């Protein structure tokens, strides 16, 4: 079976082989700390061995729950925010046929996402849409009190109970939550919802291979066993004991930190496949939330090429030289489409006649990478042989392992997110939430 490939040739003009190799001793030590649980954030390392510990019984339970929703629903709303929705959405968007919703080519229920914003128009329009539809809910929250998903669940639970009654709603709501604590666990036990557990030792942005991600992906009709198999295969390739020169995650982490030390403060994740958009969104959270601490960290952005070459392309080519690129490339597309010859040739494209569209796309990719490197933007390339569940599983684990190593190289705890609480405190104070009276008075004095 082929595997993900990492190409660092595009950084050689700035980072030498010797400089990259100089990370080996530290990298080996950080990998050992991750596996021994002796580094920062050791309470949240359950993701490291997760792919190898998921059992057939685990798969069977998730698949059975997915079938239950599939039988009862045409639409399933997955409620969650951040790591509770981005991984599942990334996989579903990448694997769903682009026009399936219009042509009804995909037989599984359509998974809709909510709870990742507090847009009144979005939620109101979602309620209007679902008001005459057969729908179910997957509510994903460790606490059950996170504002954005809690609002969405309260509204959609009420709508579902209006449609099918409390008993009917019980068969169409699944909670993915804490094992024993929290508001959602209490409600699920009271109402008799089927539940799956978010492990205590896995943070949200590392949770895509838990029921947080696997259940919505299974509901959407995709092979979660292949997703996990890909992650399991990548785990073996980047595991403790794999030499630094062969460990793709360690090499990527070292390359990023070398570039950071050279003043490259922004990493742009680009792709030349439109279905990879939400892979970029998932990656942004994984790296931004893991490394942006103590006034350190690479700023993460994502672009979709070639579209963004006509918007962000100018800045990338000639803007401030504080950036580097990581490009995700898909070696072989699923479909074949060739460009026909035209007798008039008014568009001047006959020189492309007979070529596959993907050949043009690949040359756009190569030409872009060459131009950006020539323009002072170092380039890392990650190649997936195909866009399928197996290789996405590889990619997820590759990135997860790399960010753990990279965070330690940077000198931060990559497994906490203390800064995320700041906006919540202000929001609760502004809304006069009970328990925030002192903060409310303090913040009102600033207005």
Residues forming beta bridges with residue 304, ordered by sequence position: 271
Q: Which residues contact 225 (CB under 8 A, 6 or more apart)?
A: 59
**CA gap 143, 149 in Å, rounded:** 10
User: What pLDDT is recorded for position 106?
Assistant: 60
| Cα 136–Cα 139–Cα 140 angle in degrees, nearest 5 | 145
Contacts of 163-171 with C-beta under 8 Å, sequence gap 24+, read: 163/131, 166/191, 171/68, 171/72
Domain match, 213 and 342 both: no
Question: Does an H or E element contain 135, and which?
Answer: strand 135-140
Q: Is residue 312 part of a domain?
A: yes
Q: Looking at the structure, do residues 214 and 249 belong to the same domain, yes or no?
A: no
On whether both 268 and 389 belong to a single domain, the answer is yes
Mean pLDDT value across residues 385-396:
98
pLDDT at residue 104 in the model: 61
d(CA 427, CA 151): 14
434 lies in some domain: no
If DSSP codes are grouped into helix, strand and coil, which group holds residue 153? Answer: helix
pLDDT at 419: 67
Q: Write the pLDDT tens digit of every residue in 157-174.
A: 999 999 999 999 999 999
Is residue 124's pLDDT more than 70? yes
**Domain membership of residue 382 as a residue range:** 5-39+228-416
Decide: residue 257, CB within 10 A, 0-12 exposed, 13-18 middle, 19+ buried: buried
**What pLDDT is stored for residue 428 in this prediction?**
81
Count how many domains the chain has: 2
The reply to whether 310 belongs to the active site is: yes
Catalytic residue among 104, 190, 310, 421: 310
The CATH number for 294's domain is 3.40.50.10490
Exactly one of 93, 281, 289, 325 is catalytic; which is it?
A: 289
Q: 177: which strand partners?
A: 197
236 and 115, same domain (yes or no): no
Specify whether the CB–CB gap between 108 and 215 falls below 8 A: no
Residues 238 and 377 reside in one and the same domain = yes
For residue 307, the tally of other CB atoms under 10 A from its CB is 13
Distance of CA 19 to the CA centre of its chain: 30
pTM here? 0.95
CA neighbor of 219 nearest in space, from 272, 174, 270:
174
Domain boundary among 222, 239, 263: 222
Please indicate, yes or no, if residue 128 is contained in any of the structural domains.
yes
Per-residue pLDDT, averaged over 112-137, amounts to 97
Q: Mean pLDDT across the chain, nearest whole number? A: 95
- Residue 119: predicted pLDDT: 95
Strands (E), 290-391: 299-304, 323-330, 379-384
Mark whether 424 is an active-site residue.
yes
Per-residue pLDDT band for 248 (boundaries 50, 70, 90) equals very high
Is 277 part of the annotated catalytic residue set?
no
DSSP state of 339: P
Rounded average pLDDT over 373-383: 98
Residues 76 and 166 in one domain: yes
Task: Indicate the pLDDT class of residue 11, thresholds 50, 70 and 90.
Answer: very high
Q: Mean pLDDT, to the nearest integer, of 421-433? A: 75
Question: pLDDT tens-digit profile of 93-108?
Answer: 999 988 776 656 567 8
Query: In which band, very low, low, confident or very high, does the pLDDT at 69 lie, cut at 50, 70 and 90?
Result: very high
425 part of a folded domain: no
Kindly state whether residue 447 falls inside one of the protein's structural domains: no
| Boundary-marking domain end, from 169, 190, 222 | 222
Considering the domain architecture, whether residues 372 and 253 belong to the same structural domain is answered as yes
What is the DSSP code string of 6-63? EEEEETTTTS-HHHHHTTHHHHHHHHHHHHHT-STTGGG-TTTTHHHH--HHHHHHHH
User: Residue 98: what pLDDT?
Assistant: 86
Amino acid 103: pLDDT: 58
Considering the domain architecture, whether residues 10 and 59 belong to the same structural domain is answered as no
Q: Locate tokens 């699920």: which residue? A: 188
Domain boundary among 222, 256, 285: 222
CB 359 within 8 A of CB 302: no
**Whether residue 241 sits in one domain with residue 207:** no
Residue 441, in any domain of the structure:
no
d(CA 138, CA 175): 6
Shared domain check, 406 and 383:
yes
Mean pLDDT of 130-140: 97
The answer to whether the beta carbons of residues 80 and 212 sit under 8 Å apart is: yes
SS3 113: strand
- The answer to whether 265 and 299 are in contact (CB under 8 A) is yes
Residue 424 lies in a domain: no
Strand partners, 111: 76
| Co-location of 80 and 30 in the same domain | no
Is residue 434 over pLDDT 90? no
- As a whole number of angstroms, the distance between CA 275 and CA 401 comes to 23
Residues 282 and 145 in one domain: no
The catalytically annotated residue of 424, 425, 437, 444 is: 424
pLDDT in tens, 302-345: 999 999 999 999 999 999 999 999 999 999 999 999 999 999 99
Helix (H) or strand (E) holding 395: helix 389-410
Domain-located, residue 399: yes
According to DSSP H, which parts of 262-378 are helical? 277-291, 313-318, 357-374
- pLDDT of 424 > 80? The answer is no
Element containing residue 138 per DSSP (H, E): strand 135-140
């Amino acid at each position: 079976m082929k595997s993900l490939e990492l190409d660092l040739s595009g950084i050689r003009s700035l980072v030498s082989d010797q400089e990259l190799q100089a990370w080996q001793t530290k990298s080996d030590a950080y990998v050992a700390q991750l596996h021994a649980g002796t580094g920062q954030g050791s309470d949240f390392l359950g993701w490291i061995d997760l792919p190898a510990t998921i059992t057939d019984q685990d798969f069977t339970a998730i698949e059975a729950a997915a079938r239950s929703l599939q039988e009862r629903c045409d639409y399933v709303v997955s409620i969650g925010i951040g790591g509770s929705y981005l991984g599942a959405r990334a996989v579903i968007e990448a694997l769903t046929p682009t026009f399936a919703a219009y042509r009804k080519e995909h037989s599984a229920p359509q998974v809709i996402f909510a709870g990742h914003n507090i847009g009144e128009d979005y939620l109101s329009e979602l309620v209007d849409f679902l008001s005459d539809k057969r729908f179910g809910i997957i509510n994903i929250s460790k606490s059950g009190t996170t504002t954005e998903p809690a609002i969405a669940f309260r509204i959609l639970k009420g709508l579902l109970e209006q449609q099918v009654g409390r008993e009917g709603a019980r068969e169409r709501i699944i909670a993915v939550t804490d094992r024993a604590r929290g508001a959602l666990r209490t409600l699920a036990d009271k109402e008799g919802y089927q539940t799956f557990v978010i492990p205590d030792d896995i943070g949200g942005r590392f949770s895509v291979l838990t029921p947080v991600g696997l259940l919505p992906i299974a509901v959407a009709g995709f092979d979660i066993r292949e997703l996990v198999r890909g992650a399991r295969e990548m785990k073996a390739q980047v595991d403790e004991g794999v030499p630094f020169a062969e460990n793709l995650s360690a090499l990527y982490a070292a390359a990023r930190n070398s570039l950071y030390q050279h003043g490259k403060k922004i990493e742009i994740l680009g792709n030349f496949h439109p279905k990879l958009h939400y892979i970029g969104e998932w990656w942004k959270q994984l790296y931004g939330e893991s490394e942006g601490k103590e006034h350190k960290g690479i700023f993460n952005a994502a672009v979709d090429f070639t579209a963004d070459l006509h918007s962000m392309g100018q800045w990338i080519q000639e803007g401030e030289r504080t950036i580097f690129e990581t490009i995700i490339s898909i070696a072989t597309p699923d479909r074949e489409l060739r460009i026909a010859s035209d007798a008039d040739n008014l568009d001047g494209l006959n020189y492309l006649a007979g070529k596959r569209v993907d050949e043009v796309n690949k040359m756009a990719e190569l030409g872009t990478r060459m131009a950006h490197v020539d323009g002072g933007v170092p380039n890392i390339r990650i190649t997936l042989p195909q866009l399928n569940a197996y290789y996405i599983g590889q990619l997820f684990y590759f990135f997860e392992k790399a960010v753990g190593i990279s965070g330690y190289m940077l000198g931060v705890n990559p497994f906490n997110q203390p800064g995320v609480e700041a906006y919540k405190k202000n929001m609760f104070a502004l809304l006069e939430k009970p328990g925030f009276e002192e903060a409310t008075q303090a913040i009102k004095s600033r207005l």
